[in-house]
Structure 1
Amino acid sequence: MNHTTWQPDAHAGIWYTQDMTMTNTTVRATKTFRHAQQLRLKNVDFSDAGETLWWCDDVQLDHVTVNGDYFGMNTNNVVAHNLKVTGNYVFDGGKNIEVHDSTFITHDAFWNCENVTIYNSTIIGEYLAWNAKNITFIDCWLESDQGLCYVDHLTMRNCSLINTDLSFEYCTDIDATIKTSIDSVKNPVNGQITAPKIGQIIFDDPAIDPKQTTITTQEETTHGK
C-alpha cells in the first residue's frame, strides 16, 4: 500500500492481516492494526492514532509519526527507526522491542514491557518504564518525573537523566552509567549507579538493604547511605 490516505471513517481497519507493507501513507483513523503480523511501515503518519497497533507481532517502523494514546499495546518483536510519538502509554505490555534515533513525548511509556533496548533516543514524560523487565537505554536523553521505578534488570549506558526525581525506586539488578546529575535516587534494591552528582539519596524502607547498591559520584563511592 503506497501513497494512501485513511480518513476517520476508516477506523478499526487492518485487523488479523499478515505480511503487509505500507509506505508514504497518512492514517487519520483510530484503532488501525490489531492482531496483525509481519508489518512494514515506512513514512507513515498516524495523525489520530488512538489505540493503534494492538496485539501485533513482527513490526518494522521506519520514519513513522504517531499522535495518540496507547500506541503499540501488547505488540511484540518491534524494530523502530526514527519513530516520533506524541501520546501516552506507548508500547504498554510489549515484548522484544528495539528502538533507534526516536522521540517520545509520553507519560507511562514502556510500562510492563520485557526485553526492550533503546538507542540514541529522547523520552520526555513522567513514570517511565514502570514494572518493566530487562530494559536497556544507550546514549539516551530521559526526562521523567519519578521515572524508572519497579524495573527488573535495568541497564543504562551514557544516558542523560534530566528533571528525574525519586528514580530507581524498587529497581533490581541496576547497571546505570549516567552522564548528568540526578535529582534524587530512592530505595534501589541492588546494583550500581554512577553519575557525576546525585542531589539526594533516600533509603527509607527498612526492607531495603542499602549495602546491596553501589552508588558512585565524583565526590564519593557509597553502598547506599
Structure 2
Amino acid sequence: MKEILNEHFSGERALFQRNGLKISGTVFGEGESPLKHNAYIELSDCTFDAKYPVWYSEKVKLNNCIIRESAKEGFWYSSEVTVSDSVIESEKCFRHCNGISLKNVSLANGVETMWKCANVRMDGVKVNGEYFAMDCDGMEITGLELNGGYAFDGVKNITVRKSVINGNDCFWNCQNVMIYDSVITGKCFGWNSRNITLVDCTVESLQGMCFVANLVLRNCKLPNTTLAFEYSENISADIRGGIDSVKNPAGGLIRAESIGEIIMEKENIDASRTKIICG
C-alpha cells in the first residue's frame, strides 16, 4: 500500500479513485468528496473538514479519526467500512451502506444517521440525535448509549444487548427485534411492529408496546408504564414488579406482580382473548 503521512488536502476530489492507500496524520480541509470511488483505504489519526468524505467506496478503515461537523453526510453508498476509536461530529453520516462496523465511536450529532444500511455492527457506540438508524436490515448492537427520539424506525432483524436508549417512539414499524439486558425510556415504544422480544430489560413508557403482533417480554420491568399493550396481539409478558395501567390488549398472556388499572373496552376488543395474572 502506498503511504501518505502528515499531508493536507483541500479542494474537490483530492484522492478520487485512488486505491490501496495507508493515510496517517492527514487533514482533509475545506472542500468536498476527498475519498470518492476508492477501495482498500486505511486511515489513522486523520481529520476531515471536507463535505462528503467517503462516498461510493469500499473496504475503508478509520482509526482514531475525527469527522468534523462541517464534514456533512460522511459515509454514503459505501461498503465494508470499519470505524474505531473515533469521533464523528457531523449529522446524516451513514446512508445506503452495507457492512458497517463501529467500535468505541462517538456520534456527537447523530441526527438522521445510519439510514437504509445493512449488516451493521456496533460495539460501545454513543449517539446523540434524533431519527437514528431508520430502515436498516441486519444489526448487531452491544453497549449502545443513545439519547434521541424516533430511533430504529422500520428496522429489521436487529439484536441489541446491554444498551441504554433514551428517547420517544423508538422501534416503530419494525420486524424481528431481540433486546437483552437493556434500558429503554420514552413514550410509545414499539408501535406497529412484529416479532419483538425483550429479555431482562427495563422499559419505561407511556402507551408503550401498542399495536404489536407477537410480543414477548421475559423477566422484564415496566416502571412508570401506562396504557400498555393496546391492540397488541399474541402477547407473552412476564413482568417483575408492577404496571401502572394496561389498556385493551388484543390477545395473549400478561403476568405481573400488580397492575394499577386494567381498561377493557368491550366495544373495542374481545377481553376473553387475553389472560391477565396478578400477584
Q: 1: distance between equivalents of 2:64 and 2:192?
A: 39
1:86 aligned to which of 125, 147, 150: 147
Q: Deviations over 1:35-62 (max 9, x none)?
A: 0001110000000000000000000000
- The Cα shift of 1:207 comes to 3.5
Letter in 2 for 1:213: T
Query: Aligned to 1:10, what secondary structure does the other structure show?
Result: coil
Letter in 2 for 1:135: I
Once the two structures are superposed, the pairs formed by residues 87-166 of structure 1 within 5 Å of their partners are 87-166=148-227
1:178 aligned to which of 214, 234, 239: 239
RCO (CA 8 Å, sep 6+): is it higher in 1 or 2?
Answer: 1
Greater strand share, structure number: 2
Q: 2: distance between equivalents of 1:55 and 1:68?
A: 17
Structure 1 runs (4+) greater than 6 angstroms displaced: none
Letter in 2 for 1:156: L
Once the two structures are superposed, the pairs formed by residues 22-61 of structure 1 within 5 Å of their partners are 22-61=83-122
Q: 1: distance between equivalents of 2:146 and 2:161?
A: 13
Give RMSD over aligned pairs.
0.6
Q: 1: distance between equivalents of 2:171 and 2:94?
A: 19
- Bigger Rg, structure 1 or 2: 2
Amino-acid identity (%): 44
Letter in 1 for 2:98: Q
Q: 2: distance between equivalents of 1:114 and 1:165?
A: 24
Q: 2: distance between equivalents of 1:13 and 1:205?
A: 52
In structure 1, the residue matched to 2:257 is 196
TM-score (norm 1): 0.96
Gapped runs of 5+ residues in structure 2? 1-61
Gapped runs of 5+ residues in structure 1? 219-225
Matched, 1:168 2:229: yes
